[in-house]
Amino acid sequence: MNIETRKRELVKEFSPLIEKTTKVSKIWMAILVAIILVGIYSFFVQLFKGHEVTGMRDNVVWGVYIINFIFFVCLSYSGAFISGILHFFKTPWKNSISRIVEIITVLSLIIGPIFILLCIGRLDRLHYLFLYPRIQSPITWDIIAIMTDLIGCFIYLYLTFIPDFAILRDHSDDAPKWRQKLYKFLAIGYQDTESQRETLHKITRTMSAMIIALAIVAYSVLAWIFSLTLQPGWNSSIFAPYFIIAGLYSGVSVIIIAMYLIRKYYHLEHYIRKVHFVSGGIILLILSLLYGYFTFSEYFSRWFSHKTHDTNLLNTLFTRYFWEFVFANYIGVLVPVVILFFKKLRTIKSITFASIIAILGLWLNRYLIVVPTLETPYLPIQDTRAEFVHYTATWVEWSLSFAGVAAFILFFILIMKLVPIIPMSGIIDNERSSKVKSTLTKPVTES
Partner 1 sequence: MKRNIFKKATSISFILALLFSISTFSQELTVDDYKLSFSFKTIKKFDNSRVLEVTFIGKNREDRKDKIPVYDAEIKFFNIVNGEEILLGTAKTSNEGIAQLILSEKQKYLTDSDGYINFTARFEGSETLDSEEEEILVKDLQLHLELKEIDSVKTIFVKAFTIDSLGVETPVEELDVIISIEGMLSKMKIKEGTIENGEIEFELLQNIPGDIDKNFTVYAQILDNDEFGDVIQKQTVNWGTFTKIASEDENKLWSEAAPIWMYIVLTILLVGVWANYVYTVIHLIKIKKEGKNLELSNKE
Q: To the nearest 10°, the Cα dihedral for 268, 269, 275, 277?
A: 70
Q: Which member of 210, 326, 331, 345 binds partner 1 (CB under 8 A)?
A: 210
- Is residue 135 part of the contact set for partner 1 (CB under 8 A)? yes
- Is residue 199 part of the contact set for partner 1 (CB under 8 A)? yes
| CB < 8 Å & 24+ apart, contacts of 139-144 | 139/225, 141/221, 141/224, 142/218, 142/221, 142/222, 142/225
Task: Select 214 or 317, whichever has its Cβ closest to partner 1.
Answer: 214
Quick note: the x/- pattern for partner 1 over 309-348, rule CB under 8 A, is ----------------------------------------
As a whole number of angstroms, the distance between CA 168 and CA 419 comes to 8
Stretch that binds partner 1, among 93-101, 194-202, 358-366, 418-426 (CB under 8 A): 194-202
Task: Select 44 or 132, whichever has its Cβ closest to partner 1.
Answer: 132
Task: Select 63 or 152, whichever has its Cβ closest to partner 1.
Answer: 152
- Is residue 181 part of the contact set for partner 1 (CB under 8 A)? no
- The residue among 429, 414, 443, 438 whose CA lies nearest residue 182 is 414
Q: Which member of 29, 144, 286, 389 binds partner 1 (CB under 8 A)?
A: 144
Phi-psi map region of 193: left, alpha, beta (phi>0 left; psi -120 to 50 alpha): beta
As a whole number of angstroms, the distance between CA 407 and CA 112 comes to 11
- Is residue 217 part of the contact set for partner 1 (CB under 8 A)? yes
As a whole number of angstroms, the distance between CA 354 and CA 348 comes to 10
> E strand or H helix at 93, and its extent?
none
- Is residue 308 part of the contact set for partner 1 (CB under 8 A)? no
Stretch that binds partner 1, among 19-27, 183-191, 390-398, 413-421 (CB under 8 A): 183-191
Site for partner 1 in 259-278 (CB under 8 A): none
Contact present, 76 and 70 (Cβ < 8 Å): no
Please state the separation of Cα 34 from the chain's center in Å: 23
Q: Which member of 38, 61, 155, 286 binds partner 1 (CB under 8 A)?
A: 155
Q: Which residues of this chain interact with partner 1, rule CB under 8 A?
A: 134-136, 141, 144, 148, 151-152, 155, 159, 162, 187-191, 193, 195-196, 199-200, 202-203, 206-207, 210, 214, 217
